[in-house]
Copies of this chain bind each other. A is one copy, B any other.
Amino acid sequence: MSAAVSLVNHNASTTRQTFERLRELVADDLSGVNQVIVDYLQSPVALIPQLAGHLVSSGGKRLRPILTLTTARMCGYEGARHISLAACVEFIHTATLLHDDVVDDSALRRGSATANAVWGNKPSVLVGDFLFSRSFQLMVSDGSLDVLRILSEASAIIAEGEVDQLMISNDVSTGKDAYMGVIQAKTATLFAAASEIGAVVADRSTEDQAALRTYGMSLGIAFQLVDDVLDYSAKQADLGKTVGDDFRDGKITLPIVYAIERGDDAERAFWRRTLEDEEQTDDDLEEAMSILARHNALEDAMGEARRHGEEARNMLERFPDNAYSAALLELVDFCVDREF
């Protein structure tokens, strides 16, 4: 397939258009996914569809189900199984978000109140469990033990990654390897599983399955690294978004790991005070951003994201050149260049 890929930075409105075009390509499948989600959220216990629906309909990008839909189509799959399996992936993602928000005491997600802020932690924990279970019920209806293996393993790794993340939070001695291990587990593993499933439903070779798994893994790592960079990005502030949430939570992300490695004693003392002890004053975020700039930390984290994006692109070379493979290439551009 053509490897001619734009490396030019898109501006915000272009990346948004890119993403809308991707959604458009699988729009029918995606509305099928939404219908499966609505159907499987049903329960005699009214709070369950109410609470889960609050999060499901809060305008997430649906990136993970889009991966399943698009990879399946790229592989020439013409049935309907990918639709319910994409819904499984979204259920697992939603369950982890519900539990994450409880674990992080988050009050806002995607600009709206979190479920735990509206209904409390208790039902959020339990509805997350319900969504996990529903996801496995849906997989059982589909009947593929391969898919069940992929997603049960992914769920276990995600949970491990989340516990691991708890362990390193506020720990300024965290190195790059430890950090990359956490984001691979907690974020990239579900991207990998979502993409691999596309090849599985299309009955592709294990090599093709592995290639799409690596595509998703690399894309997920790039996606998370960009997320980390955006949290310190001035452009985010221009767009009216919050900047510095990770900083205020004492989160150690790759830009911070770089800055700590490259900093002097005074800077390390600054990071210890602000991130380890979480003692912060109003001026500290600005100071943090100027230290990050001094060490090229954001640029270098973006460079790492681009390298993983490139690896994702390479994985697509073995697949046919069609509208879906083009879309999966563009998805890499979107994940790397996005500003939202």
Contacts and interface: CB of A to CB of B under 8 A. Distances in A.
Contacts of A156: 130, 133-134, 137
Contacts of A79: none
A112 interface: no
A163 B123 contact: yes
How many chain copies?
A: 2
A159 B130 contact: yes
Nearest to A102: B125
A143 B95 CA distance: 25
A4 interface: no
Contact of A164 (B45, B134, B143, B164): B45
B126 A166 contact: yes
A130 B44 contact: no
A133 B162 contact: no
B125 A99 contact: yes
A84 to B, nearest CB: 14
A3 B125 CA distance: 44
B160 A43 contact: yes
A14 to B, nearest CB: 38
A132 B155 CA distance: 9
Contacts of A145: 140, 143, 145
Given A132-B155, A137-B152, A149-B140, A127 B163 contact: yes
Nearest to A99: B125
Contacts of A158: 129, 133
Interface in A205-237: none
Interface string A296-336: 00000000000000000000000000000000000000000
A72 interface: no
A148 B127 contact: no
Given A136-B155, A156-B133, A162 B126 contact: yes
Contacts of A96: 129
A136 B163 CA distance: 19
A122 interface: yes
Contacts of A166: 47, 122-123, 126
A153 interface: yes
Interface string A30-49: 00000000000001110110
A163 B119 CA distance: 12
A256 to B, nearest CB: 21
Interface in A11-55: 43-45, 47-48
Interface in A52-104: 95-96, 99, 102-103
A8 interface: no
A239 interface: no
26 contacts: A45-B160, A45-B164, A45-B167, A47-B163, A47-B166, A47-B167, A48-B160, A96-B129, A102-B121, A122-B166, A127-B163, A128-B129, A129-B132, A129-B158, A130-B163, A132-B132, A133-B153, A133-B156, A133-B159, A134-B156, A136-B148, A136-B155, A137-B156, A140-B149, A143-B145, A145-B145
Interface of A: 43-45, 47-48, 95-96, 99, 102-103, 121-123, 125-130, 132-134, 136-137, 139-140, 143, 145, 148-149, 152-153, 155-156, 158-160, 162-164, 166-167
